[in-house]
A and B are shown apart, each in its own frame.
Chain A
Amino acid sequence: MAIATLTDLTYSYPGRAQAALKDVGLTIEGGLTVIAGPSGGGKSTLLRTFNGLVPHFHGGRISGSAEVMGLDVIATPTRKMARNVGFVFQDPELQTVYNVVDREVAFGLENTAVPRREIAGRVEEALHAAGVADLAGRAVRTLSGGERQRVALASALAMRPNLVVLDEPTSQLDPDGAQLVLAAATSLVDEGKSVVISEHRLDHLLRQANGLVLVDRGTVTTADPARWRPPAPPVRPVRSTALGGEAWSLQRVSAGFDGQLVLDGVDLSGRSGEIVALSGPNGGGKTSLLRLIAGSLAPLSGNVSRRPGRVAYLPQNPTVLLHLPTVRAEVRFTLERSGELDQPETILNELELLPMADRYPRDLSCGERQRTALAAVLPGSPALVLLDEPTRGIDSSARGALVALVAHLRDHGASVVLATHDDELRDALADRVIHVADGRVAEMAFAVTT
């Protein structure tokens, strides 16, 4: 039975001439449907039509028709659709209203005036369905990213929707957290709910999906999930230079905040022309380690040293540094400040950003913004490259471009440190892998395959 039917649906965001969705004709059946496609292609826009955020929240122009769970989306406000369609967003931190788990899960029930005597039972049921019954009563700020995202899933489930929509729910999670969220989401299908999910980690999902929708440049097509194969992982670039001398080192370094030790007695170093990957769970200390190497975080004890030269640092949430009117201006800003002679177009071309060079960076999709931030920090010839989750939200094509760019910097003598959960990126680039957890570091056995 069809749960959603879109007919000749065309949608444009306010102030944009180009349509984000073009003449979409699509029928979604029950069960698990996976939405895939390149970043900036229109996946998030399509998902938002299922609960009416497009067009009711975002505005813009829409034509055609969209019917979800028997409701006319264009005529039904999102707040009414909320009773039938649950929605989980990408960023777990930006969808939390209350600071206690139970209340957070109850928020939708309170909004739809569910009688108080029913709320506690429905909250318990939703927490159980999302696999986080043990989190009841916890303060939201104490939860890990994976736990927060499952609480967000529970919040959607509390409304007892027939359709649950998830927009890249694992893009900011470590592998364990991501696996738990995906397991919770797919188990909903066994309970008779329909699930539509947009994801970049497709292998596990495609095995269980009964529908696959591909979205690219606003055009929507369907494919057989059993036959379709995601793009191949990036190939490991061949090294063209040997490793150089020591570029940075940490000797018996401890660091922390508010009296809490985040890293304890760390001894680590990296060489010119070497790529070191940091792995480990969220909150394990990877970002603190990068900030120590960059010199942004002062150690509580021990010594940090780095060779002279420019440091290129991509922070964990890179879009925070975007503040100029165009993508090109962001790159030029770094080049001018660092006295580099390169042209912005060089790196824009390498990261496939030339077509959007004159666009406002914050109007871009999540993956495109990530690439813009990479272009803004990596132009020229940095001596030390520190990247915190550089592939967050970006598609396989952009990942390939990033691999080539980082390999190019390495071959020109840059020392690179990446904190990443992305196994494909690590396999394509890393010379060494360091596991960072509970304030300690340990070198992992890592076989380089070419």
Chain B
Amino acid sequence: MNARAVAAWSACCLFVVLSTTNPVYKLMVLAAALSALAAGAGLRRIRGLLVAVLLISAFAIVLNFVSAHLGTTVLFELPAQIPALGGPYTLEALVFGATGGITISAAILAAAPFSLLLASHEVMDAVPAPLSRTGVAIAASLNLVPGVATSFVQVTEAQRLRGWRPRGPRSWMEVVVPVVLTSVEGSIQLAESMEARGFGSGARTTMTSHALQRSDWMLVAASGLALASFAVSHAAGWSTDWFPYPTLTFPTVDPRPIAACLLLFTPVLVWRSRR
């Protein structure tokens, strides 16, 4: 699995899901991203991510439902005197909120292979040479993240046993300050270690080759074709946009953008599981 091929596929998914308002095409991208992750990581490993995505989507739906009092199909109504919440609650607002939820979910799942399927060095190797030092610095700092979580637990426990109790936001300074100081010191020590190993000497080489394998080329080609097809469909008016207001209608569907979206399922064929 090559990070550049993954980037091409992710970019294409994001292009489709963000360039159309049609929920059918958005749903297809969501399904493609979900299938790709299931093929690459297995459903068990992505369970936590799915829960997070569902919660975010639910929030988007609820937010639009309670705030957009537009549309003709009124489900129920709250008295207008209730600030912010008063007014009609419509099916159109509910469906539009759901479309927003699908967009966010598809975007998150399309970007998820970078953290779920690729190691940080694989992502870094894909960064263009002029940015490689920045990439190394980012990868190194990511290694410190688990340490911050561990520090937080350690500090909270130790301070509790020294008589600290959480009493309002100011009391948390006695935990947050040592955690931040420890993280900063950790970063400085890591920087010192990197310097001692020649970081910043000039042009870098990398241990592994970035050559794309046949399966990577397939994914790049399929993604490129999907992107071009969808862009042409959009320009030609085949992938009709959709808007639920004022009255909810079914979105129009055309086989050409559908075919473009189907190409996004290519990872199911080429990604071997990295469980």
Contact = CB atoms under 8 A, between A and B. Distances in A.
Interface stretch (B2-10, B76-84, B190-198): B190-198
Contact of B197 (A108, A113, A336, A377): A108
B185 interface: yes
- Tell me what chain B mostly uses at the interface: helix, strand, loop, or mixed: helix
B2 to A, nearest CB: 16
Nearest to A287: B154
A346 interface: no
Given A91-B189, A94-B193, A95-B189, A119 B140 contact: no
Interface string A356-393: 00000010000000000000110000000000000000
B249 interface: no
Contact of A100 (B119, B154, B192): B119
Given A82-B201, A89-B189, A98-B139, A313 B161 contact: yes
Contacts of B204: 110-111, 113
Interface string B203-221: 1111111000000000000
Interface string B126-138: 0000000000100
A223 B120 CA distance: 47
- Tell me what chain A mostly uses at the interface: helix, strand, loop, or mixed: helix
Interface stretch (B52-60, B173-181, B250-258, B264-272): B173-181
Contacts of B205: 109-110, 113-116, 119
Interface in B199-249: 199-209
Contacts of B192: 53, 57, 89
A80 interface: yes
Nearest to B201: A79
A119 B206 CA distance: 8
Contacts of A106: 207
Contacts of A56: 195
Among B139, B155, B161, B177, find the residue whose CB has the most chain A CB atoms closer than 10 A: B161
B161 A108 contact: no
Given A98-B139, A99-B120, A106-B207, A319 B182 contact: yes
A75 interface: no
Interface in A283-329: 291, 294, 296, 311-313, 315-323
Contacts of B120: 98-99
Among B147, B185, B196, find the residue whose CB has the most chain A CB atoms closer than 10 A: B196
A312 B195 CA distance: 39
Interface string B17-28: 000000000000
B197 A111 contact: yes
Interface residues of A, number: 63
A97 B194 contact: yes
B197 A317 contact: no
A98 B121 contact: yes
A97 B196 CA distance: 12
Contacts of A89: 189, 192-193, 196
B158 A315 contact: yes
B162 interface: yes
Contacts of A313: 157-158, 161
Contacts of B190: 94-97
A56 B174 CA distance: 34
B207 A323 contact: no
B196 A87 contact: yes
Nearest to B185: A362
A16 interface: no
A156 B196 CA distance: 9
Contacts of A112: 198, 201
A291 to B, nearest CB: 7
A95 B193 contact: yes
B197 A316 contact: no
B161 A312 contact: yes
Contacts of A108: 197-198
Given A87-B197, A111-B200, 16 more contacts: A79-B195, A79-B198, A89-B189, A96-B143, A97-B140, A103-B208, A107-B199, A113-B202, A116-B209, A119-B207, A296-B157, A315-B154, A323-B174, A323-B178, A323-B181, A337-B164
Interface of B: 119-121, 136, 139-140, 143, 146-147, 151, 154-155, 157-164, 174, 177-179, 181-182, 185-186, 189-209
- Report the 7 A-B pairs with minimum CB-CB distance, sorted nearest first: A337-B163, A95-B193, A108-B197, A82-B198, A111-B198, A323-B178, A106-B207
Interface of A: 51, 53, 56-57, 78-80, 82-83, 87, 89, 91, 93-100, 102-103, 106-116, 119-120, 123, 141, 155-156, 159, 291, 294, 296, 311-313, 315-323, 333-334, 336-338, 362, 376-377
